[in-house]
Amino acid sequence: MKHWLRMSGEQIVKIASSFSLLLVFATLGFSTDYREIEKKLQTTHSPEQVLQALEGHYDDIEKDQELITAVDDLANDFSTEGMNRIKELVSLRAAAQPPVDSSAKTQVQQIKSSPLYRDSGVGEQSNWLDGALKRLKDLIPKREINAPRTALPSPGLFSQILIPIVWGLLAVAIIVFGYFGIKHFQWKKALRRKAKAVLEDDEPERTLDEWLAIADEYSLQGKFREAVRALYLACLLKFDEAGVARFIRGETNWEHLSRIRSSGRLPNGLDFTPATKAFDRIWYGFHVQGNEDVESFRVWYQEVRDRLQENAA
């Protein structure tokens, strides 16, 4: 405590200026630059590219409920309509947004240019308040007064009051940043539920025929969701077997689909997108209708198998 009581007025003002700078940076950090987001989206031509462009801006748009909902919908269905909806929302917000070079940046420059913010090289024992009070005292004529003397306010009292306030404000700022950080992490985790690999790390390697047999077993046991996953994995292994796209166990279903669609060995007219969307809805979204889901994936597997065989022939 004695150390803080000896703190000079210049150091106190410097701490206050630094805290003001922190608050200004916080204001800038929570201000979303929709123009920058719009500029990135102008070069995107697919739902996957739109989501990749927004990857670094989830912190900025997390308070925009309408835009967050649109991003979540696009992550679920990968539709062109959803992609265009996001671009439209960002364009509307960018058009209504004032220039980024606003008063907040001016405040930052003013604070940083202040001589009290920069290190003046004055030691800890230097105290401009003490000097000012002494000079003021010298200007007052010295007279003998019988009345009780009243001591001048000590600069230490000023430090004792201001320092706890500054530290209290810093603690509040840390709590606020921590709250928004946790909230953003939870939202981001929910948004990226499909970021998990289709095949878990601890699952053993299985052949295509083994996955087909497992699908039959799960179907007989009434585990339709697990049966759908087994058939979807069988489709991916079939694409691998035909040389269309290698099966990589650490990739997500959408990463597999992206490589399948970009492969030069994919038969014309064979679209695996509907099967991937259905898998995402059933496996990750838990929207299971029953045995009809399993039968639909059996049809998709047979179509993939037949078209790949025809293409090889």
Q: pLDDT category, 136, cuts 50, 70, 90?
A: low
- The answer, yes or no, to whether residue 286 has pLDDT greater than 50, is yes
Q: Which of 152-156, 177-181, 213-217, 276-280 has the lowest mean pLDDT?
A: 152-156
- The answer, yes or no, to whether residue 38 has pLDDT greater than 70, is yes
More confident: 160 or 152: 160
The chain-wide mean pLDDT, for the chain, equals 76
Helix axes 128-139, 9-29, angle to 10 degrees: 130
- Which two tokens mark 309? 């065989």
> 229-254: per-residue pLDDT in tens?
999 999 999 999 999 999 998 899 99
Percentage of the chain beyond pLDDT 70 is: 65
More confident: 275 or 13: 275
DSSP H helices, the chain, are: 2-5, 9-29, 34-41, 47-53, 58-61, 65-77, 80-96, 103-113, 128-139, 155-191, 208-220, 224-241, 253-261, 273-279, 291-312
Q: What is the pLDDT of residue 239?
A: 97
Q: What is the pLDDT of residue 302?
A: 97
Q: Which of 114-123, 125-134, 266-275 has the lowest mean pLDDT?
A: 114-123
Q: What is the pLDDT of residue 202?
A: 80
Rounded CA-CA distance 41/25 in Å is: 26
Task: Indicate the SS3 state at residue 304.
Answer: helix
The size of the chain, in residues, is: 313
More confident: 189 or 182: 182
Tell which residue, 204, 215, 297, 200, has the closest CA to residue 252.
200
- The answer, yes or no, to whether residue 42 has pLDDT greater than 60, is yes
Q: What is the pLDDT of residue 194?
A: 44
Which pTM value belongs to this model?
0.44
All structural domains of the chain with their residue ranges: 2-28+102-134+155-191, 32-96, 208-312
- The answer, yes or no, to whether residue 6 has pLDDT greater than 80, is no
Rounded CA-CA distance 288/279 in Å is: 10
Mean pLDDT score, 273-300: 94
Q: What is the pLDDT of residue 110?
A: 61
Q: pLDDT category, 27, cuts 50, 70, 90?
A: very low
Mean pLDDT score, 71-90: 83
